[in-house]
Structures are given as C-alpha cells and as structure tokens.
Copies of this chain bind each other. A is one copy, B any other.
Amino acid sequence: MPSMRDDSLRLDDAVAILERTPASLTALLKDLPERWVQATEGAGTWSPYDVIGHLIHGERTDWIPRARHIMAGDSRPFEPFDRMAQFTASQGKSLGELLVTFAELRHQNLATLLEMNVTNEDLNRRGLHPELGGVTLGQLLATWVVHDLDHVSQIARTMAKVYSEATGPWSAYLSILRDRQRY
C-alpha cells in the first residue's frame, strides 16, 4: 500500500542525484589536508576516507546486484551487505584513487540501470531483504539516493566537528556540532 510519496518516485529524479554525488564529493574532498579526510566523530565512527570506501563497496555489491535480483524475480533473500568491507578493501589506496574508483563505478552502474529499461510498473516488483523482509525496486532506488545523501551529510558533519572548540562562542549557533552527539 504505497503512500503518495512512495508513488511519486520517478527514475529520472533518482538518477539526477545519483549521477551528481561523485563529482560533488570529489570537489569537496580531493587533495584536502589529512586533518579533514581522516577525522572521525569518535571511536567507532567513520572518516570521510572510510565513507568513500563504503560507497565503493555499495557500488560493487549492493545496489545494482539487488536491482538485477528483483528484476529477475529471484525469490531468495539478497546477499547481506558488508558494512565494514572498506576497512580492508581501501587499504593502501589514496583518497584520490578511491574517488576516481567511486566515480567510475557509479557511472557504469547508472548506465547498467538505464539498460535495464525499468518501467513504472517495475518499480513495484518485490524482492526479499535478509533482515527487512519484502521490499520493492522503487524502495531500493529511493534508498540508494538517501544513502548517498546520508553519507554526504555525515562527511560534512564529521569535518565540522574538527572545529567544535575552535568556533568558541559561535558554537551556540552551529547546530551541526551537536548532531548525532555521542558524548
């Protein structure tokens, strides 16, 4: 029983965000000092460098494989997604390399998505998530978009917190310094 908003997912709108994320993150992060790129929000949280590795792993193993799985009518659950893969997969790679890899994979994946000729009816096709149960192709594509934006926001928040103390009295006006506060 999709809500009005659920109905209104349009493939063009989703692709418009997905195709912009790599360039936006590259413009933000490329050649930035390590102080920003390696910053975290504390133990167990991710740096911008970690996040780019995570986005790459999603391009390789999550979004398009799951879209194919749904379009093929496969009734088995999706392969679980490894949220920690980047901690081994990124080893020895520079952030610049990771940004190029992310942009290439995203470009290929959006080309693949367009080749799948997904119709509005196809957006209601269902697959089985290993934890969440029944989900639709439309929900998968909306999640791909929101997942990008969640990590863009996380990168900005993580870097902002490097200057938590440095802003002095102005910190009262800067809500981002208290978003997802862990202490």
Contact = CB atoms under 8 A, between A and B. Distances in A.
Interface string A124-160: 0000010011111011101101110110110011011
A33 interface: yes
A88 interface: no
A45 to B, nearest CB: 12
Among A3, A147, A170: residue with most chain B CB under 10 A: A170
A50 B20 CA distance: 20
Contact of A163 (B146, B163, B167): B146
A36 B8 contact: no
A28 B36 contact: no
A97 interface: no
Contacts of A25: 24
A77 to B, nearest CB: 13
Interface stretch (A53-61, A67-75, A108-116, A175-183): A175-183
Nearest to A132: B169
Contact of A169 (B8, B29, B135, B166): B135
Given A149-B160, A150-B175, 8 more contacts: A4-B165, A6-B168, A9-B166, A17-B36, A132-B169, A139-B166, A139-B168, A142-B166
17 contacts: A6-B168, A12-B33, A13-B35, A16-B33, A17-B32, A20-B28, A20-B29, A21-B28, A28-B152, A132-B169, A138-B166, A139-B170, A143-B167, A146-B176, A146-B177, A153-B156, A179-B180
